[in-house]
């Protein structure tokens, strides 16, 4: 889409529409839960239940939901380490390939998607990932917050046009004074970049002029962070938008629990008081305030604000026995504290379940690493995340290719892996063992490879070694004793028996560095030498 003169001037002075205004408010709530941004301003005083001092303390010690949102989104890490997938970029587009290996601050495109783009998808869903020219032959992907966007029109995740808010600089890049009657903003469409100047005259009438610079990319060089549209409000929303209201409630509940813990959560010391051994309870010694008891007249070693101090009964005949209970502690109301924690945990479980369709099953104790009760809804959700991120990475990659090769553009092909490895290695191993008696080899091959991928997900060398050995070992899903019980030739049995000896002789580093075909040939030679007695 290419804007005409009337459209440029009208959009330049138009106020942000309702959807932009709403997305800005939504972003504030998302940032509060993700970053704890402006959390103190959000918390309001609970009238009739807390005084000003307690409210100030509650705001000061409020923790927020930063760690909970981290926990809520942790399963998405599996999208970026999933096995499988492919990435095809025309080999002749070398400049684009170099840029994709350093999109920003040394991050390649996939690292950028995991560390920067995903975060913006959560907290800035209506914002834009923008490819900005920083030199004649160099560009950088930048973040445009929804707060800095005046208006846009989307076609899928790509804008037809974008108008940014005035940036406070003049034509030469110099900062404008606050009382200036002119402002400047940037605008973009499918063919051009516009530097728009808006002047306000004495009658507060706005006049618009602009300069035009072609960018030769045939599209606006940007994509919106979130492809998820709220069809009622016509806004782009975060994947966790439906969970925000309950997260806000948790913030309030947690702040109340924290202040209860600080004010009422400590055991209160008490003791019966006795008179000061120096001043004998008179508070003075030779007319001077007693230095031992600080003028209290009693024998107290603790600060009087640290406990409760009781006068002993005057008449022991009343049946009150003091010794040995001359001091002790009053324990706080732990049940209220526990109920607060249970209520917060219950709310968070609902948040987690509403997003993932299942919850963790904790093992051992509450802090132990859990497993998902139901894997299928998690896989379904991760596939959605993978779809969103895969599509975004493809569009960003295409923008970078267009930037360097506008006249010979060829699109890329990006496919994210979908083997998410949600199950733990122990879970996969148990499934594999249970399947060995009844499943065909191709199923067992898949399960065993999934086990290795999960067990060695952070050790590429060992994963490579174990997958090679899996493909080389004879009757890999059977034990030596099982193979010896079959009616096989002696050579076939030796291949199974001697496989471990051969691997030990080679070592893992050699297996890692040698291709599969050569390893197969060397194993055959090893078995022949053992069978014919020609081992060197």
The Cα-based distances of 13 to 104, 206, 332 in angstroms read 33, 7, 61
Peptide bond into 324 cis (omega under 30): yes
Note whether 231 and 287 are same-domain residues.
no
What does the DSSP assignment read for 74-127? GGGHHHHH-EEEEEE--TT-HHHHHHHT-SBTTB-HHHHIIIIIHHHHHH-TTS
Alpha helices in 144-290 (DSSP H): 244-264
Note whether 149 and 297 are same-domain residues.
no
Note whether 197 and 317 are same-domain residues.
no
Note whether 520 and 397 are same-domain residues.
no
The Cα-based distances of 379 to 361, 421, 445, 506 in angstroms read 17, 10, 21, 39
Note whether 15 and 135 are same-domain residues.
yes
- φ and ψ at residue 313, rounded to 5 degrees: -55, 140
Note whether 376 and 520 are same-domain residues.
no
For 293, other C-beta atoms within 10 Å of its C-beta total 20
Is 340 domain-assigned?
Answer: no
Q: What is the pTM of this model?
A: 0.78
Residues constituting the chain: 536
Q: Are 121 and 226 in contact (CB under 8 A)?
A: yes
Is 301 domain-assigned?
Answer: yes
Is 252 domain-assigned?
Answer: no
The pLDDT, as a whole number, for residue 367 is: 44
Note whether 85 and 174 are same-domain residues.
yes
The pLDDT, as a whole number, for residue 263 is: 66
3-state class (DSSP) for residue 9: helix
Note whether 104 and 169 are same-domain residues.
yes
Note whether 148 and 274 are same-domain residues.
no
Note whether 104 and 170 are same-domain residues.
yes
Q: Is the dihedral of CA 91, 94, 100, 102 positive or negative?
A: positive
Is 125 domain-assigned?
Answer: yes
pLDDT tens-place string over residues 397-437: 999 999 999 888 889 999 999 988 888 888 899 999 999 98
Is 288 domain-assigned?
Answer: yes
Is 403 domain-assigned?
Answer: yes
Name which of 415, 367, 421, 420 is nearest 394 in CA terms: 415
Is 46 domain-assigned?
Answer: no
Task: State which of 280, 305, 331 marks the end of a domain.
Answer: 331
Look at the chain and report how many structural domains it folds into: 3
Q: Which residues span the domain enclosing 480?
A: 456-536
Note whether 323 and 194 are same-domain residues.
no
Per-residue pLDDT of the chain (536 residues), as tens digits, is 899 999 999 999 999 999 999 999 999 999 999 998 888 888 775 555 667 777 777 777 788 899 999 999 999 999 998 888 899 988 888 889 988 999 988 899 999 999 999 999 999 999 999 999 887 778 899 999 999 999 999 999 999 999 999 877 766 667 776 667 888 899 999 999 999 999 887 666 788 999 999 998 999 999 999 999 999 999 999 999 999 999 999 998 888 887 777 666 667 777 777 788 899 889 999 999 998 888 888 886 655 445 555 666 665 555 565 656 656 667 777 777 788 889 999 999 999 999 999 998 766 544 445 678 888 999 999 999 999 999 999 999 999 999 999 888 889 999 999 988 888 888 899 999 999 989 999 999 999 998 998 899 889 899 999 999 999 999 999 999 999 999 999 889 999 999 999 999 999 999 999 999 999 999 999 999 888 765 54
Is 531 domain-assigned?
Answer: yes
Look up residue 469 and give its two tokens: 């050995």
Note whether 120 and 3 are same-domain residues.
yes
Q: Helix crossing, 66-73 with 18-35: angle to 10°?
A: 100
Nearby residues of 483 by Cβ (< 8 Å), 6 or more positions away = 474, 475, 492, 493, 496, 497
For 230, other C-beta atoms within 10 Å of its C-beta total 16
Nearby residues of 304 by Cβ (< 8 Å), 6 or more positions away = 296
3-state class (DSSP) for residue 209: strand
Phi-psi group of 168: left, alpha or beta (phi > 0 → left; psi -120 to 50 → alpha; rest → beta): left
């Amino acid at each position: 889409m290419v804007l005409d003169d009337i459209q440029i001037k009208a959009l330049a002075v138009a106020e942000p529409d309702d959807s932009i205004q709403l997305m800005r408010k939504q972003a504030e709530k998302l940032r509060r839960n993700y970053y704890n941004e402006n959390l103190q301003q959000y918390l309001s005083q609970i009238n009739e239940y807390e005084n000003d001092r307690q409210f100030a303390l509650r705001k000061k010690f409020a923790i927020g939901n930063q760690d909970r949102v981290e926990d809520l989104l942790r399963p998405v890490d599996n999208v970026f380490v999933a096995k499988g997938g492919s990435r095809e970029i025309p080999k002749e587009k070398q400049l684009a390939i170099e840029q994709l290996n350093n999109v920003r601050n040394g991050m390649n495109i996939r690292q950028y998607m995991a560390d920067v783009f995903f975060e913006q998808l959560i907290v800035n869903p209506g914002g834009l990932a923008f490819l900005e020219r920083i030199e004649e032959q160099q560009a950088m992907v930048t973040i445009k917050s929804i707060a800095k966007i005046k208006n846009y029109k989307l076609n899928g995740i790509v804008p037809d046009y974008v108008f940014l808010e005035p940036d406070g600089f003049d034509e030469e890049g110099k900062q404008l004074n606050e009382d200036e009657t002119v402002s400047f903003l940037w605008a973009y469409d499918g063919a051009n970049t516009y530097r728009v100047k808006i002047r306000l005259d004495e009658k507060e009438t706005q006049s618009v002029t602009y300069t035009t610079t072609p960018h030769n990319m045939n599209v606006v060089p940007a994509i919106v962070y979130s492809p998820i549209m709220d069809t009622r409000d016509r806004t782009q929303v975060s994947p966790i938008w439906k969970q925000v209201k309950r997260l806000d409630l948790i913030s309030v509940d947690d702040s109340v629990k924290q202040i209860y813990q600080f004010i009422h959560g400590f055991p209160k010391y008490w003791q019966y008081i006795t008179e000061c051994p120096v001043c004998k309870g008179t508070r003075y010694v030779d007319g001077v305030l007693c230095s031992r008891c600080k003028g209290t007249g009693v024998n107290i070693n603790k600060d009087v604000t640290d406990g409760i101090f009781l006068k002993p009964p005057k008449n022991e005949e009343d049946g009150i026995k003091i010794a040995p209970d001359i001091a002790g502690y009053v324990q706080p109301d732990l049940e209220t504290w526990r109920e607060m924690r249970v209520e917060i945990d219950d709310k968070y479980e609902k948040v987690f379940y509403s997003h993932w369709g299942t919850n963790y099953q904790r093992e051992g104790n509450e802090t132990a690493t859990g497993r998902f009760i139901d894997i299928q809804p998690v896989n379904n959700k991760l596939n959605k995340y993978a779809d969103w991120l895969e599509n975004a990475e493809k569009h960003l990659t295409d923008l970078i290719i267009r930037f360097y090769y506008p006249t010979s553009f060829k699109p890329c092909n990006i496919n994210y892996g979908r083997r998410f490895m949600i199950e733990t290695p122990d879970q996969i191993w148990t499934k594999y063992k249970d399947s060995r008696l009844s499943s065909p080899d191709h199923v067992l091959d898949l399960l065993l490879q999934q086990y290795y991928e999960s067990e060695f997900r952070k050790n590429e060398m060992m994963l490579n070694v174990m997958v090679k050995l899996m493909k080389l070992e004879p009757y890999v899903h059977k034990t030596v004793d099982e193979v010896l019980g079959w009616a096989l030739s002696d050579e076939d049995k030796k291949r199974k028996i001697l496989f471990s000896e051969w691997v030990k002789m080679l070592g893992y580093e050699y297996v890692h560095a040698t291709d599969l075909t050569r390893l197969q040939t060397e194993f055959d030679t090893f078995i022949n030498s053992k069978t014919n007695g020609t081992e060197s």
